[in-house]
């Protein structure tokens, strides 16, 4: 009865189940049979298998099948399946691996979560229990590694970002452009979806790692290298484009007054807000030219400070102020080192005389950054304390 209810929901919500497979002859039949307990809306993508996969699939000729001549990777198989599902009129696709690690009886978990979700533009990722004894250590480490970088790139914390048991909104995916074709696609798709406003969420599922049956095609060196390169690129894009873009979008949407109250003041304590200002000032004056935005947002995330405040105050180094900062840093360095260099501010900015004395500039720059950060931090801390007390008295 429950299976029939799930089957009806799958039909009503226009969901298909997508099964990419490559040389999983030992587990493929069991996975397909398990999925068929809940739906006939199934698309199987045979990614150039060289074992008996084609013969096994002959028994399922009533199901949608795509046979690729050559193995091009899981990402390519998924992308091919998504396009085909979209042409058939499906709105969502549940993907399940054919290596037997996933339990088809968890399909209702995805369907029920989608049904009750107010936001239908959602990706659901099955969260596996990676702490159980049967899970390989390399899989557990790889998942933690992926979770961390997904958080850095999107600000979202997930328990499992590598599970292949997922539900995707096909219309949202159609709007995005993808480049990867291997295992790293499953990272690319959730990061870009999160950037575009799609909700990405974990739901609990069961997992089975049977080493006698399971065949993994993950190549530790090659695939981990690809994933690392992708994450490196995503981190660069995050700090140079996504974070600033989101900042200005919030400002434009809310207007100055609401933006000031919610994003600059927010719910952070006076000490956290003051530390955020201090961090922004320190990074803005420091000699890390070209990396200020990356550093300030990364450190704000790392120390759980207010990213918006830190970013705003790091912009003390905007172009009109740069000559003054460099000049003041050089003078500070000369004072600390007990030397005197004879050049005017005009000579410094036009002929870059300060570059001939980098040691002096760098020492002065860091010293000035520390002094300014401490000064602004302390003053802002007491101002925030006074402001919070006034607000409390007003509301009380």
Determine the 3-state secondary structure of 212 from DSSP. coil
Alpha carbon distance 292, 113 (integer Å): 41
Reported as type and span, the H/E element at residue 45 is strand 42-47
Alpha carbon distance 175, 79 (integer Å): 13
Alpha carbon distance 230, 253 (integer Å): 31
pTM value is 0.72
Determine the 3-state secondary structure of 127 from DSSP. strand
Report which of 5, 1, 10 is spatially closest to residue 39, judged by C-alpha positions. 10
Residue 83's pLDDT is what? Answer: 97
Report which of 370, 212, 213, 239 is spatially closest to residue 295, judged by C-alpha positions. 239
Residue 217's pLDDT is what? Answer: 62
Q: Are 167 and 205 in contact (CB under 8 A)?
A: no
Determine the 3-state secondary structure of 95 from DSSP. strand
Q: Which architecture, in CATH terms, is 2-237?
A: Alpha-Beta Complex (3.90)
Residue 42's pLDDT is what? Answer: 98
Domains of the chain by residue range: 2-237, 266-395
Q: pLDDT (tens digit, 0 to 9) for every residue of the chain, 396 residues total?
A: 578 899 999 999 999 999 999 999 999 999 999 999 999 999 999 999 999 999 999 999 999 999 999 999 999 999 999 999 999 999 999 999 999 889 999 999 999 999 999 999 999 999 987 666 555 555 666 788 889 999 989 989 999 999 999 999 999 999 999 999 998 999 999 999 999 999 999 999 988 866 555 556 666 667 778 888 998 899 889 888 888 888 788 777 777 677 666 666 667 888 998 999 999 999 999 988 878 888 888 898 888 898 888 888 998 887 777 888 888 888 898 888 888 876 655 655 555 555 557 788 889 899 999 999 999 999 999 988 888 787 677 665
Alpha carbon distance 270, 264 (integer Å): 11
- Strand-by-strand arrangement of the 122-127 sheet: 64-68, 42-47, 15-21, 92-95, 166-169, 122-127, 199-204
Q: Is 46 left (phi over 0), alpha (psi -120 to 50) or beta?
A: beta
Residue 129's pLDDT is what? Answer: 77
Q: Are 149 and 231 in contact (CB under 8 A)?
A: yes
Q: Running DSSP on this structure, what letter comes out for residue 104?
A: G
């Amino acid at each position: 009865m429950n299976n029939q209810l799930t089957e009806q929901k799958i039909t009503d919500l226009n969901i298909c189940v997508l099964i990419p497979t490559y040389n999983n002859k030992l587990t493929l039949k069991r996975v397909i049979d398990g999925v068929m307990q809940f739906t006939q809306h199934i698309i199987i993508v045979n990614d150039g298998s060289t074992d008996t996969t084609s013969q096994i699939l002959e028994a399922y000729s009533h199901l949608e099948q795509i046979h690729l001549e050559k193995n091009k990777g899981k990402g390519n198989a998924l992308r091919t399946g998504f396009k085909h599902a979209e042409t058939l009129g499906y709105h969502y696709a549940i993907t399940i691996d054919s290596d037997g690690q996933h339990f088809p009886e968890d399909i209702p978990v995805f369907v029920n979560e989608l049904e009750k979700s107010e936001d239908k533009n959602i990706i659901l990722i099955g969260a596996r229990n990676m702490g159980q004894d049967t899970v390989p250590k390399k899989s557990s480490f790889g998942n933690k590694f992926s979770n961390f970088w997904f958080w850095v790139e999107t600000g979202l914390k997930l328990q499992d970002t590598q599970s292949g048991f997922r539900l995707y909104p096909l219309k949202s995916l159609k709007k995005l452009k993808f480049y990867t074709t291997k295992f790293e696609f499953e990272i690319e798709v959730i990061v870009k979806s999160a950037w575009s406003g799609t909700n990405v969420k974990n739901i609990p599922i069961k997992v089975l790692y049977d080493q006698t049956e399971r065949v993994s095609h993950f190549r530790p060196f090659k695939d981990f290298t690809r994933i690392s390169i992708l994450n490196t690129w995503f981190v660069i894009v995050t700090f140079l484009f996504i974070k600033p873009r989101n900042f200005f979008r919030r400002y434009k949407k809310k207007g100055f007054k609401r933006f000031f109250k919610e994003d600059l003041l927010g719910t952070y304590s006076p000490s956290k807000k003051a530390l955020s200002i201090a961090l922004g000032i320190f990074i803005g004056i420091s000699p890390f030219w070209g990396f200020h935005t990356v550093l300030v947002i990364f450190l704000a995330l790392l120390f759980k400070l207010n990213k918006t405040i830190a970013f705003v105050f790091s912009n003390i180094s905007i172009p009109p102020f740069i000559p003054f900062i460099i000049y003041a840093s050089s003078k500070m360095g000369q004072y600390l080192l007990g030397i005197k260099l004879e050049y005017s501010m005009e000579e410094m900015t036009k002929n870059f005389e300060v570059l001939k004395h980098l040691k002096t500039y760098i020492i002065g720059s860091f010293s000035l950054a520390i002094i300014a950060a401490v000064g602004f931090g302390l003053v802002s801390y007491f101002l925030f304390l006074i402001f919070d007390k006034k607000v409390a008295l007003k509301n009380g």
